[in-house]
Structure 1
Amino acid sequence: MTTEAQADRQIIITRQFDAPARIVFLAHSKPEHVKRWFGPVDWPLTTCEMDFRVGGRFHFAMTGPNDEPGPPFGGEYLEIEQDRRIVYTNGFDAPGSPRFVTEVTLEETGGKTTLTQVTTFESKAVRDQYVEMGYAEGTNSAYDQLGDVAVELKG
C-alpha cells in the first residue's frame, strides 16, 4: 500500500489485490458489489445508485456509527476502459461543494492486480481540506474491504 500527495492538488493511492483485473473492475462496476466495499469500515453505503457507462452518473450516501447520516455525494463517469481504467468526477451534493476527478487504473501481473487511484482536486487548499477529513484513510479502509470482496468474487 502506498499513499502520497503529489503535484500539490493530487492524492495518489496504490494497492495490490490478489485477484485478476477483471474481478477488481467488476467490483467497481456493479452496485451490489460496490455496496459491499465502498467507504470506510464503519460507514457503509446506504444509497448506491449507479449508471455505469461513460456519461452515466452515480449517487451515493453513507451512514456511520449510531445511524449518523453522511452527506450525499456523486458524480459522472467520464471514461471507462473495460478491466483497465475508470475516470469519474466526484464531490458532495451540497451547492458550491468542490468537485474533483478520480482516475482508477488496473494493471494485472500474474493474476494479481495493482490499482492506482489518482485524485486531482481543484486546488491545493481543497486537497488539504480532504486530507484533513481523512480522505486517504477512508479510501484505504474501503480498499481493505475491496480486497475481501475481490477474493470472494474470484472464487
Structure 2
Amino acid sequence: MKITVQALVRAPLSAVWAAWSDPEAIKVWNTASPDWHTTAASVDLRVGGQFSSRMEAKDGSFGFDFAGTYSAVEPHRLIVSQLGDRELRVEFSEGPEGVTVRETFDGEPTHSEEQQRAGWQAILDSFVRYVEGRG
C-alpha cells in the first residue's frame, strides 16, 4: 500500500532543501509529538549514500532507528530512498505560495494506514513549523 502525505512550506526552496538534508536540523524537527525526539541523525545525500535518525521517547521507554539508502537524488526536486524492501519518495515542488513537500511511501504491516499517515503527517507538519519559524 502506498501512503502519501504533503504540506506547503512558505519558505524558499533552498531553505526547505537545506532543512531536509541537514542532520542538525533533522534532530530539531523530526518528531511526531512533544514526548518524542531525535537524538542522532546522519545524512550522506548521494545515490548509494545512507541516512539514519534515532527516534526515542523522551522518557526512555522506547526508541528505534529510521534508516535507509538513497537510490535517487535530484537536488531541490526529488529524493528516493530504500527502507529495506520499502520505498520512500520525497518530492519538492516550488509554487507561488512556497514549496510543496510530498512524501509517498510503502506502508508497513505493523500499524494501520491511518496510524502511519497520521504519524508521517505530524512529522511533516513539525518540519513546516521548523522551516517557517526560521524565516
> Same fold per TM (> 0.5)?
yes
Which of the numbers 37, 44, 58 marks the counterpart of 1:44? 37
| Cα distance in 2 for residues equivalent to 1:138 and 1:129 | 13
Q: Which has the higher strand share?
A: 2
Instruction: For residues 6-28 of structure 1, give each alpha carbon's deviation from its aligned partner in whole angstroms, at most 9, with x where no partner exists.
Output: xxx10011211111222211111
User: What is the aligned partner in structure 2 of residue 33 from structure 1?
Assistant: 25
Amino acid at match of 1:12: T
| Aligned residues between the structures | 134
Q: TM-score, normalised by structure 1?
A: 0.76
| Cα distance in 1 for residues equivalent to 2:25 and 2:3 | 24
User: What is the aligned partner in structure 1 of residue 94 from structure 2?
Assistant: 108
| Cα distance in 1 for residues equivalent to 2:3 and 2:61 | 27
Which of the numbers 2, 8, 12 marks the counterpart of 2:4? 12
Q: Which 10-residue stretch deviates more, 109-118 or 74-83?
A: 109-118
The answer to whether the aligner puts 1:62 opposite 2:55 as a matched pair is yes
Q: Which 10-residue stretch deviates more, 17-26 or 129-138?
A: 129-138
| Cα distance in 2 for residues equivalent to 1:90 and 1:43 | 21
Identical amino acids, percent of aligned pairs: 27
Gaps of 5+ in 2: none
Alignment of 1:51-130 (within 5 A): 51-90=44-83, 99-121=85-107, 126=108, 128-130=109-111
User: What is the aligned partner in structure 2 of residue 23 from structure 1?
Assistant: 15
Amino acid at match of 1:140: Q
Gaps of 5+ in 1: 1-8, 92-98
User: 1:20–1:72: structure 2 CA closer, same or farther, 3 Å change rule?
Assistant: same
Amino acid at match of 1:109: G
Instruction: For residues 47-79 of structure 1, give each alpha carbon's deviation from its aligned partner in whole angstroms, at most 9, with x where no partner exists.
Output: 212212211111222111412231223110111
1:107 to partner: Cα distance: 0.8
